[in-house]
Each structure stands twice: as structure tokens, then as C-alpha cells.
Amino acid sequence: MTILTVTLNPAIDIAYQLDHLALGSMNRVSKLSKTAGGKGLNVSRVLDELGADVIATGFADRRLGTELIRELEGGGISCRFTRIIGRTRNCIAILHAGMQTEILEKGPTILKEEKEAFLQAFEKSLGDVEAITMSGSLPAGLDPDFYSQLVKLASQRNKPVLVDISGLALEALVNAEIKPTLIKPNIEEFSMLLGLEIGLENVKEALNEPLFDGIDWIVISLGKAGTIARVKGELYRVRIPEIAVINPVGSGDASVAGLAFGMTIGASIEDCLKLANVCGMLNAQEAQTGHINMEHFPELFEQIKVEKI
């Protein structure tokens, strides 16, 4: 069982730990980490930890991109990135006095011939996988409908596509003629898509908007409140127990991994939704983004309640 993960704008995530951030002055770093980052790479790692075979794809340069590929391959994840001339980005998080200050580079501009090379490689890889996940922002040089182009290619091969994106790219995706199998906005991204403030009181109505016709799985993640979803026309509410949270960043990515894993092993709708929440919770229980500890899986899985509403 192999899953293709698409990360079009990956990054080296740098975390600098400082006792105190002194603006306009020199800061010496006491502790640091550098890891391959980007939402799709979090999905890749969690899928790998769940036991799936993963092929990671996207765009990478020959400097940081090579570093990133080396790290993924070292962790047992196959990589098929399209090489680019533009520079793969660094994203910096400065952790100081209980705060996190982030400095995010925009990333490279993808050239026309690099885009064509990626599309060809993507189409070729489709024959080797059972499902595809797509996550995160589009680098410059790609039109907002780029994800829709990928969905179209995958649907010609009858491969399920799970998409976790936001903003204009999500708008283009849901309005396209060929629909993805699944979208997983969080409630803020869902509100932005509809241009309405959505909360628990009106989310059911929103899920039944004609805009979502043709998308089998609309999974709205609600952080510690679990999930609400419309799957094949039926509404589901997933309730989760309270847990001690260490770092919830990337929990949505872990949820996408859980959903992709469940769908590829042929799990029931209820179990796929449980898997999404277990993986999200397991990620939130760890300091490292995009990492789950499978030891705690069974006890959490048992405590999750899924009901039709």
C-alpha cells in the first residue's frame, strides 16, 4: 500500500531556542533544530509511522532541497522531487519567553519547464500508488488551479485524492469541474472559504451547501473539539477525550495521514474518522511536529466516539 504525498513548497524548518530575544542586538542560540518541514512532509512522516509506504513529491533545489530529501530518505521515505533552480526556503521559529516568533520565507518561483516536468513525473507516479495527499501553499509561478490540474490527472486514473489547502487554491479546487475525494479544512479555513463565520451552530447547514456537491468527504477539524464531517451525504460528529497537549502544530496534517491510511486499507467511514482524530491527538501529544507515538494509539482509539447526526 503506497501513498503519494505532494508538498509543492517544502522548507527546512529551523527552531532557535533563546532565553530572551534582544531586538537590534546579537542573539546567541542555546538550542536549535533543523528539520524537513512543510505540511505534506508532516503527512509523509505520520503515514510512515502508521506503516504505509510513502513516496514524497514536490519541488526541491540542489541545496536545502537535497538536505531535505536526504533527511526524508534517511527516515525510510522514498522521494521523487522535481529539481528547481529557485531556492528551497528556510522557515524560522524563534522560541523565547514562552512565545514563538516566526519568520517565513515565501519560497522559490517555479519555472514553466519545472512545472511541466513535475506534471509529467506526477502522472507517471500515479501508477505506483493507491492514494494521493496534497497539502500546503502553492509556490509562486503556479496558478491557483494547479491542485485542480493534479486532481484531474489522478481522477483519470481513479485514484483518491485528499487535499488540505486553504485560501484561493481551495476556492479554485472546490469550484473546479473535477472534484477531489476529500478536503480537510479547519473551521477557520472553512469559514474563509464560505466568506461566513462558521461555528458549531451553523456548520451542518454549511456542509450541505451545493458548493460541496461531488466531494465525497468534507472533513472539518475542530482542534480539541474533534471533527465534524459530511461523508457521502451523511453527517458525522466525532468527539474526543481531553488530553495533555504538548504541541498541536501539524495535528491537521497528522489527521490527513490518518484519513489516507484508513481509506487505503479499506477501513469503514467511522474508523477513518477515528484514525484522523487519533493521529491528530497523538501529534498534539508530542513536541515534534509531524510525529506520532504509536504506543498510545490503542487507548486513544477506544475513547473516540463517532455518531451520525
Least separation, in Å, of the C-beta of 224 and ligand ATP?
Answer: 4
Of 48, 114, 145, 253, the residue at the interface with ligand ATP (CB under 6 A) is 253
Q: Residues 206 to 225: which contact ligand ATP by CB under 6 A?
A: 221-224
Pick the piece of the chain touching ligand ATP (CB under 6 A) from 2-10, 48-56, 280-288, 291-299: 280-288
Residues 132, 138, 284, 300: which binds ligand ATP (CB under 6 A)?
284
Sheet holding 182-183, edge to edge: 78-83, 53-60, 2-7, 131-135, 161-164, 182-183, 217-221, 227-231, 234-239, 305-308
Supply the minimum distance, in Å, between the C-beta of residue 277 and ligand ATP.
4
Closest CA relative to residue 263, chosen from 254, 275, 272, 255? 272
- What is the C-alpha to C-alpha distance for residues 41 and 4, in angstroms, rounded to an integer? 11
In 3D space, the residue among 267, 264, 277, 283 whose CA is nearest the CA of residue 304 turns out to be 277
Helix (H) / strand (E) containing 102 = strand 99-104
H or E stretch at 283: helix 269-284
| Closest distance of CB 75 from ligand ATP, Å | 19
Burial class (CB in 10 A: 0-12, 13-18, 19+), 272: buried
Of the ranges 100-108, 145-153, 191-199, 241-249, which one interacts with ligand ATP (CB under 6 A)? 241-249
49 or 61: CB nearest ligand ATP = 49
Position 277 contacts ligand ATP (CB under 6 A): yes
- The answer to whether 30 and 18 have CB atoms below 8 angstroms apart is yes
Q: How far is the CB of 189 from ligand ATP (least distance, A)?
A: 7
Tell whether residue 249 is a contact of ligand ATP (CB under 6 A): yes
Q: Check binding of 226 to ligand ATP (CB under 6 A).
A: yes
Through-space distance between the first and last CA atoms of the chain, rounded to whole angstroms = 32
Q: Which of 1, 94, 176, 243 binds ligand ATP (CB under 6 A)?
A: 243
Out of 35, 44, 133, 227, the only residue in the binding site for ligand ATP (CB under 6 A) is 227
- Size of site (CB under 6 A) for ligand ATP: 21
Identify the CA nearest to 188 among candidates 199, 204, 180.
199
Rounded to a whole number of angstroms, the minimum distance from the CB of residue 155 to ligand ATP is 24
Placement of cell 468534507 in the chain = 218
Tell me how far, at minimum, the Cβ of 276 lies from ligand ATP, in Å. Answer: 7
The minimum distance between CB 135 and ligand ATP, in angstroms, equals 9
Residues 6+ apart with CB under 8 A from 139: 8, 9, 59, 86, 106, 107, 108, 109, 110
Q: Which residues bind ligand ATP (CB under 6 A)?
A: 186, 221-224, 226-227, 240, 243, 245, 248-253, 255, 277, 280-281, 284
